[in-house]
Structure 1
Amino acid sequence: MKYLMLIYGNEEIWSSLPGDELSALIGEVDAFNDALRASGELVDSQGLVPRAWSVRMPGDTPVVTDGPYLEAKEYVGSYFVVDVDGAERAREIARSYPALRFGPGTGGGLEVWPLMSGNGDEL
Structure 2
Amino acid sequence: MKYLVLIYSNPDTRKIWESMSEQERGVGWQAYAALDEELRAAGELVVSEALEDPSQGRRPVPSDGPFAEVKEHLAGFLLLDCRDMDRAMEIAAKIPEAPYGVVEVRPVKQLG
TM-score normalised per structure 2: 0.79
Quick check: 8-17 or 33-42, which moved more? 8-17
For residues 98 and 43 of structure 2, the distance between their equivalents in structure 1, rounded to whole angstroms, comes to: 23
TM-superposed deviation, 1:2:
0.3
| Contact residue 41 and residue 84 of structure 1 kept, 8 A | yes
Q: Which has the higher strand share?
A: 1
Q: Which amino acid aligns with 2:69?
A: L
Cα RMSD of the aligned pairs, angstroms, is 2.5
- Structure 2 unpaired stretches of 5+: none
Identity %: 31
| Structure with larger Rg | 1
Match of 1:26 in 2: 29
1:6·1:79 contact (CA, 8 Å) conserved in 2?
yes
What is the DSSP-based 3-state SS (H/G/I as helix, E as strand, rest coil) of the residue aligned with 1:118? Answer: coil
Structure 1: stretches of 5+ with no match in the other structure:
56-61, 102-106
Consecutive aligned runs of 4 or more in structure 1 exceeding 6 Å deviation:
none
Shift of 1:29: 1.0
After TM superposition, give the deviation of residue 15 of structure 1 in Å.
Answer: 2.7
1:54, 1:91 → 2: CA distance? Answer: 31
**More relative contact order, 1 or 2 (CA 8 Å, 6+ apart):** 2
1:69 and 1:30 mapped to 2: Cα distance? 34
Residue identity in the other structure for 2:110: S
Give the drift of 1:49. Answer: 1.3
Match of 1:113, SS state, is strand
TM-score (norm 1): 0.72
2:3 is aligned with 1:3: yes
Equivalent residue number for residue 80 of structure 1:
78
